[in-house]
Amino acid sequence: MEEKEKMTTEQEESAKKKLKKGGAHMMKKKKSLSQKILLVLIILCLVGAVVSGGLILLKYIIIRQDQSAADALYQKTESSDEVAPESSAELDPQTGIIPDFNALYQVNQDIIGYVYIEGTGLSSVVVQSDDNEYYLRRNFYGKSILGIPFVDYRAQITPTDQSQNLTLYGHAASDGSYFAPIKDYKSIDFYREHPIINFDTIYGRAQYKIIGAFMAEVDPEMEGYFGYHDYVDMTEDEFETFISEIDKRSYFNTTVDVDYSDRFITLSTCETLTPEKPTPYRMVVVARKVRPGEAYAVDVDGATINEDMIMPEVWVEQNGKANPYA
Q: Give tens-digit pLDDT for 295-316.
A: 999 999 999 999 999 999 999 9
- Domain-embedded: residue 26: no
The whole-number pLDDT of residue 47 equals 56
Closest-CA residue to 251 (of 192, 180, 309): 309
Listed in sequence order, the DSSP H helices in the chain are 2-73, 102-107, 188-193, 236-249, 313-319
* C-alpha–C-alpha distance, residues 102 and 96, integer Å: 9
DSSP string, 141-171: T--BSSPPPEE-TT--B-SS-B-SEEEEE--
Whether residue 21 lies inside any domain: the answer is no
Check residue 261 and give its pLDDT. 97
Domain-embedded: residue 6: no
Is residue 47 a part of any domain in this protein? no
Length of the chain: 326
Tell me which residue range forms the domain holding 281: 74-319
Q: What is the mean pLDDT of the chain?
A: 87
For position 55, what pLDDT does the model report? 45
In a domain, 52, yes or no: no
d(CA 191, CA 182): 10
CA distance 131 to 112: 14
CATH number at residue 95: 2.40.260.10
Query: Do the domain assignments include residue 240?
Result: yes
Structural domain total, the chain: 1
Distance CA 231, CA 266 (A): 10
Residue 296 in contact with residue 84, Cβ under 8 Å?
A: yes
Domain contains 60: no
* Residues of the chain under the 70 pLDDT cut: 1-36, 38-60, 62-63, 78
Residue 302 belongs to some domain of the structure: yes
